[in-house]
């Protein structure tokens, strides 16, 4: 069996919020539990994979809000992202447990979450539910908000810092 990788990856990446809303609505109409999470996912590592796999296990479909390059620069600084949004989206789309990806340009995914209204909103356990962007909207719509514990010792920032340290020492 051959997989048309380019077609498979492109089909998972929603072109706009309306396409994502239609996709979520169709899944919900089928009785599927839709999970939403978001992030930068700049340098993929085992912490990301574990977090996303756990998020996917919480429902039937996982939709991922991916920070655009411009929002990453505002949040993380001018030296980020390391990988551009199209590369990050393609890598994430290759994961079998991610069903859709939408790139958003705002600093937070509030507009995206308010439009999509997933059944389950998930963030890392470094957030408390009352501080999770979009939690009020999801709960008001009858949904749930959950947190997932990160794999200790893994972050894109720590990987970048290790590379910088090795370059200084080398």
Higher pLDDT, residue 170 or 87:
87
Whether the predicted pLDDT of 86 surpasses 60:
yes
**3-state SS, residue 107:** coil
Measured over the CA atoms of residue 114, residue 41, residue 161 and residue 80, the dihedral's sign is negative
- Which pLDDT band holds residue 156 (cuts at 50, 70, 90)? low
Average pLDDT for residues 48-67, to the nearest whole number? Answer: 97
Cβ atoms of 61 and 33 within 8 Å: the answer is: yes
- Which pLDDT band holds residue 170 (cuts at 50, 70, 90)? low
Indicate the pTM of the whole model.
0.89
Average pLDDT for residues 134-162, to the nearest whole number? Answer: 85
Domain, as residue range, for 162: 5-169
> How many domains does the chain fold into?
1
In whole angstroms, give the CA distance from residue 56 to residue 20: 17
**In CATH, what number is assigned to the domain containing residue 145?**
3.40.50.620
């Amino acid at each position: 069996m051959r997989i048309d990788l380019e077609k498979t990856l492109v089909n998972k990446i929603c072109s706009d919020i309306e396409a994502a809303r239609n996709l979520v609505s169709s899944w919900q109409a089928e009785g599927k539990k839709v999970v939403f999470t978001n992030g930068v996912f700049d340098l993929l590592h085992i912490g990301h994979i574990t977090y996303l796999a756990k998020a996917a296990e919480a429902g039937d479909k996982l939709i991922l809000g991916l920070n655009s390059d411009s929002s990453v620069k505002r949040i993380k600084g001018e030296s980020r992202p390391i990988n551009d949004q199209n590369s990050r989206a393609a890598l994430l789309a290759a994961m079998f447990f991610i069903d859709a990806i939408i790139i958003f340009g705002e600093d937070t995914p509030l507009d995206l979450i308010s439009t999509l209204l997933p059944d389950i909103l998930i963030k890392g356990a470094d957030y408390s539910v009352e501080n999770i962007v979009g939690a009020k909207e999801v709960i008001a719509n009858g949904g749930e908000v959950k947190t997932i514990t990160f794999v200790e010792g893994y972050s894109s920032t720590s990987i970048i810092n290790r590379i910088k340290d090795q370059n200084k020492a080398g």
